[in-house]
Chains A and B, each alone.
Chain A
Amino acid sequence: MWEGGRLRPEARHKSFHRRPSQQNQLHILDPRERLLNSAATPYNWAYHRFVTLLACGTLLLIVAGALVTSNDAGLSVPDWPTTFGSLYRIPPMIGGVKFEHGHRMVAELIGFLTIILAVWTWRAERRSWMRKLGIVALGTVIAQGVLGGITVLLYLPPAVSTTHATLGQTFFCLIVIMVMVTGREWMEVPPVMVVEQHRPRLRTLATLAAASVYLQLILGAAFRHSGIKLLPHLVSAVVVTVLLLWTATRILSEHSAVPQLRRPARALLILLLVQLALGVGAYLTRVEWGKGAAQPMLSMVVATVAHAAVGALVLATSVVLAVQTYRHTSPEAEAVVAHPAPSKVVA
């Protein structure tokens, strides 16, 4: 069944079924456990694809927003919710206007798609927490739009702009979670319960890692919007790197048989390396070489926008990993079976 620390493909399906004695134990899972387990809602191909499309669109919106900041175009359209006095007329897309109004147009599209998402989720989902998640997503996107308007009307105060940047990525995480929990794997494959021998527990570690990335996002956004100096963001980068490396290597060394954990852990490692390289690039092009530049340099725009976008991917992946650790590790399973090996799938 085990082959070089991995589960053989033909054995994988069997391994998801627990022994009757363990099933009895799992009947008393706490509500949090029940929340993360798949319910009786059938997999809906079209709905899942729609949520995936919305996630991709949201990443595009984050890029569009980052382009506004990097090109210093946040106030090129001085009014809101109108653009140069009109709610529907598209202005000449030149200069800073193409970034600011382009951002507004993508945001309007995402807002519209989120309304569809909330209605579709409400009608199609049997999981009540998913229906609530759809409403929360809609509320978040509305709040995000209002924050975007407020920051324009108040001439980009750092606190509001930082909140706008942070809430945008929070919304992205929400949609990515919805992509995960509407996927075929989540809907049709029962969770694997891995047994942990080490402390801290994996779910604790993964939650800490995701929380540190979120804090890093806030600090990065605050620096980008001139609210704080660079040092807190740099110090936090060290903490994030340590936590992500710890979490990912722990999973890859002890739980690589569980694809739901292995895949985001691997992705996190790659994204972390890319993000660190982009962070250095953003620092050089913006802080070192870009100091006193007459206008935003292309290299600075590319580096800072990519840093923001990959940062969003790091955050979303770390959140996915944290959720998956809650789904695939269980204190009850640990109590039931004590393995001599570091961890194994309960089979």
Chain B
Amino acid sequence: MNKKTYVALLLVVGLMFVAGCGKKEAPPEQATAKPEAAAAPAAKIDPATVATVSGVAKFDGAAPKAQKIDMSQDPACKGTNETETVVVDNGNLENVFIYVKDGLGNYSFDVPKTPVKLDQQGCRYHPHVLGVMAGQTVQILNSDNTTHNIHPSPKDNREWNESQPPKGAALNKDFARQEVLIPVKCNQHPWMKMYIGVVKNPFFAVTGKDGKYELKGLPPGTYTIAAVHEKFGEQTQTVTVAAKDSKSQNFTFKAGAGGAGGQ
């Protein structure tokens, strides 16, 4: 081969490389695919026998103070803002994602058609932690008078990064696979962070200011309940419920525990 042939080959390889480096779409998959369902017929929950597990997420020790956020880099970001990483009120821990991690066997669950909403207002996310079923639509709104970009960094789902103009049209997105918790950030406003918990069943909740949660409609059985916090990581507990049972299960987080793999 002469010199020109080498140059031409190099150019072709370079162009192929650049072309291959574009955004890659994840292969389409069934949002509610359940491998176990193929082995055994899907079971249906009998509404007459369902039980409830509820409780409180507590914080033990002195809670770190929330950091004040300086939003002066964008005049459209009005009002005061502070971090929501650790929000403790009277020992109750907010923003803990709690879900049934294991024990549901081959029950099948329909994906709700109603989307869950995630709003950007005052240059912060509402809510800070969001629960959604795999395949369920997340409707993302921008109520601010500035451009945001929404950038989830999942490990098991497809990563994407899209901008949304001021008060622009809603973005409808979904996550195909179970993943707890997916960090989401806005690269234009680096303090804007939130987390999404994606699970394959409808038994999940996020603790409010009072730290309380409730998982309703569980069929009788033994379950692993997981409580995940963005900073303090995951805790699990096993609970057994009988028909129409109502059990209480609290979680206590301590300062100094590891992170949940978020940021």
B141-177 residues with Cβ-Cβ distance < 8 A to A are 146-147, 149, 151, 153, 159, 161-163
Does B5 have its Cβ within 8 Å of any Cβ on chain A?
A: no
Residues of A within 8 A of B159 (CB): 155
Q: Which residue of B lies closest to A92 (CB)?
A: B147
B22–A153 CB distance below 8 A: yes
Question: Which of the 9-residue segments A71-79, A238-246, A270-278 touches chain B?
Answer: A71-79
Whole-angstrom CA separation of A150 from B24 in the bound complex: 12
B153–A155 CB distance below 8 A: yes
Whole-angstrom CA separation of A130 from B202 in the bound complex: 68
A294–B191 CB distance below 8 A: yes
Q: Known contacts being A96-B187, A155-B159, is A76 close to B149, with CB within 8 Å?
A: yes
Q: Which residue of B lies closest to A100 (CB)?
A: B187
Q: Which residue of B lies closest to A79 (CB)?
A: B163
Residues of A within 8 A of B146 (CB): 94-95
What 1/0 flags go to A57-88 for Cβ under 8 Å of B? 00000000000000111111110000010000
Q: Known contacts being A84-B163, A94-B75, A295-B70, is A150 close to B18, with CB within 8 Å?
A: yes
B18–A95 CB distance below 8 A: no
Does B4 have its Cβ within 8 Å of any Cβ on chain A?
A: no
Does B190 have its Cβ within 8 Å of any Cβ on chain A?
A: yes
Residues of B within 8 A of A154 (CB): 21
B188–A76 CB distance below 8 A: yes
Whole-angstrom CA separation of A146 from B18 in the bound complex: 8
Does B80 have its Cβ within 8 Å of any Cβ on chain A?
A: no
A150–B162 CB distance below 8 A: no
Does A97 have its Cβ within 8 Å of any Cβ on chain B?
A: yes
Number of interface residues of A (CB under 8 A): 26
Residues of B within 8 A of A74 (CB): 187
B74–A294 CB distance below 8 A: no
Does A293 have its Cβ within 8 Å of any Cβ on chain B?
A: yes
What 1/0 flags go to A148-159 for Cβ under 8 Å of B? 001001110000
Whole-angstrom CA separation of A78 from B171 in the bound complex: 15
Does A296 have its Cβ within 8 Å of any Cβ on chain B?
A: yes
Q: Which residue of A lies closest to B191 (CB)?
A: A295
B73–A94 CB distance below 8 A: yes
Whole-angstrom CA separation of A73 from B189 in the bound complex: 8
B69–A294 CB distance below 8 A: yes
Does B83 have its Cβ within 8 Å of any Cβ on chain A?
A: yes
Whole-angstrom CA separation of A155 from B22 in the bound complex: 11
Q: Which residue of A lies closest to B76 (CB)?
A: A94
Does B67 have its Cβ within 8 Å of any Cβ on chain A?
A: yes
B180-199 residues with Cβ-Cβ distance < 8 A to A are 187-191
Does B3 have its Cβ within 8 Å of any Cβ on chain A?
A: no
B74–A94 CB distance below 8 A: yes
A95–B67 CB distance below 8 A: no
A97–B147 CB distance below 8 A: yes
B190–A78 CB distance below 8 A: no
The listed residue (A75, A91, A153) touching B151 by CB distance below 8 A is A75
User: Can you offer 8 A-B residue contacts whose CB atoms are under 8 A?
Assistant: A72-B187, A75-B161, A75-B187, A78-B163, A94-B74, A96-B190, A97-B188, A294-B191
* Partner-B contacts on A (CB < 8 A): 71-78, 84, 91-92, 94-97, 100, 146, 150, 153-155, 292-296
* Partner-A contacts on B (CB < 8 A): 18, 21-23, 67, 69-70, 73-76, 82-83, 85, 146-147, 149, 151, 153, 159, 161-163, 187-191
